[in-house]
Chain A
């Protein structure tokens, strides 16, 4: 076959694969929106579930998911950021550092249901936090920790060496250099990673299954040691555990969850875009 034709076939295949990805995303969005949109009323968003979840709204599940995601970030962002600073700025390249980096990569590969069991054993049972927002948030936090560490490390390491050199040459200590020069320039990257982590945490079912999620709890939590409903688990419940739930309620719930995650990703994209416009080195 002549090289020109081979090239043409290769290009077509590459294009087809790419197009398939876009088409899939489009299909998911279209189907969910089409089937879920009829459910979108103010009552659906703001009311508690009624009649055994066959009517009413999903307000407690929305609030539950927001609380869990917020809690996960309060826990994971400081720890992840500090670990990332240590790894990228202080740790020397040795056996220990390599083991730590390998551990982080592996942490990212642990199946989410394993995190769920781990959270059950450690937070619910051992620390006696019970099935609660605290346990669920901590479990989700651990799950997104590797994501935050990796994104933060990349952001920190992308700050040019020359900035650090000048800062040090002007008599700044290493910590002052990190505080005044490295961190401010890494914040957009760190934020992007964090928001992507949030999106991931919002959508996971398995880690919250044994640690926090309530099957049916038509009220808002009063303390962080209460259980809550959460969108992904609620979706699972009304899709498989409760008979005769109207299709539009199921797809409506899916639509709210999807919108929440896509909205977070959108914010991440905007931050990255704005920063790229400003960045000049």
Chain B
């Protein structure tokens, strides 16, 4: 198995608040890794280190290393534009742009300014929509507003928009928290399909979801990564007392 993302002694502060404490972990390629833990434990913060979205928070400071394909992400000179093309993010709330379905998907191609031909654009739209299983539903209304879709369709569209940029890693920040159980199940199926081509890291509140969908799981508490292991081991025989307390529902 190949390590895709490695963190070494990763520390992060928001002002005086120590949000990530000496996190050491290795996320493997073509697997789904879930990060679980109670609210405020730092799991979203960890996710947002990988594509440097924390940069927009005022007073944020990091130490340590995050290597993605042997490239130090935290290097101040790192090229954020190409980093973020490689490391895509799906947000908690589906957030399509107030544009047509078509324009949402080709957004990445448009900003790159490559005078992509009409045919190439069409192809990007079709493959991206096919990979999130929306093509058949939406192929006849590509020009209508993306804001008229259901929440599940919107979230799938957001994943399609991401895939169109051709990333390696998909970071998912509670992608199902606004969806009903059936929609959640379908998105999870989609994730299982996507992991053949992508490395997926998902942050979730929902332990059942982590148990269902992930191959590896990390448990975080108060900024520390308490335990990181294969999902089946974490849930059947946690090594740390705190992990056991959390997964048996004693807090969180």
Q: Which residues of A contact B91 (CB under 8 A)?
A: 162, 165-166, 169
Instruction: Please choose the segment from A22-30, A172-180, A266-274 that sits at the chain B interface, where 4 or more of its residues have CB less than 8 A away.
Output: A172-180
Count how many chain B residues have C-beta atoms less than 8 Å from C-beta atoms of the other chain.
Answer: 23
Residues facing A in B89-138 (CB within 8 A) are 89, 91, 93, 95, 97-98, 107-108, 110-111
Residues facing A in B43-86 (CB within 8 A) are 51, 53, 56, 81-82, 84-85
Chain B 130-173 against A: per-residue CB contact (8 Å), 1 yes, 0 no?
Answer: 00000000000000000100000000001001100100000000
Complex: A169 Cα to B84 Cα, angstroms: 6
Residues facing B in A166-192 (CB within 8 A) are 166-173, 176, 180-181, 185
Chain A 52-87 against B: per-residue CB contact (8 Å), 1 yes, 0 no?
Answer: 000000000000000000000000000000000000
Q: Which residues of B contact A170 (CB under 8 A)?
A: 84-85, 88, 107-108, 111, 161-162, 165
Chain A 270-281 against B: per-residue CB contact (8 Å), 1 yes, 0 no?
Answer: 000000001111
The reply to whether B147 and A168 form a contact with Cβ atoms under 8 Å apart is: no
Task: Decide yes or no whether A11 CB sits under 8 A from chain B.
Answer: no
Question: DSSP class of A's interface residues: helix, strand, loop or mixed?
Answer: helix
The reply to whether B98 and A279 form a contact with Cβ atoms under 8 Å apart is: yes
* Of the residues B88, B93, B97, B111, contact of A169 by C-beta under 8 Å: B88
Count how many chain A residues have C-beta atoms less than 8 Å from C-beta atoms of the other chain.
Answer: 19
The reply to whether B84 and A280 form a contact with Cβ atoms under 8 Å apart is: no
Task: Decide yes or no whether A163 CB sits under 8 A from chain B.
Answer: yes
The reply to whether A162 and B53 form a contact with Cβ atoms under 8 Å apart is: no
Complex: A177 Cα to B165 Cα, angstroms: 15
**Most interface-central of B53, B84, B88 (chain A CB within 10 A):** B84
Complex: A173 Cα to B82 Cα, angstroms: 10
The reply to whether A166 and B53 form a contact with Cβ atoms under 8 Å apart is: no
Complex: A205 Cα to B40 Cα, angstroms: 60
The reply to whether A166 and B81 form a contact with Cβ atoms under 8 Å apart is: no
Contacts A/B (CB < 8 Å), 13 sampled: A162-B93, A163-B95, A165-B91, A166-B91, A168-B84, A169-B53, A170-B107, A171-B81, A171-B82, A171-B85, A171-B108, A173-B81, A180-B111
Q: Which 7 A-B pairs have the closest CB atoms?
A: A171-B85, A169-B89, A171-B84, A176-B111, A162-B95, A172-B111, A280-B147
Residues of B within 8 A of A (CB): 51, 53, 56, 81-82, 84-85, 88-89, 91, 93, 95, 97-98, 107-108, 110-111, 147, 158, 161-162, 165
Given contacts A172-B108, A173-B81, 17 further A-B contacts (CB under 8 A): A163-B97, A165-B53, A166-B95, A167-B97, A167-B111, A168-B84, A169-B88, A170-B85, A170-B108, A170-B111, A170-B161, A171-B165, A172-B81, A180-B110, A278-B98, A280-B98, A280-B147
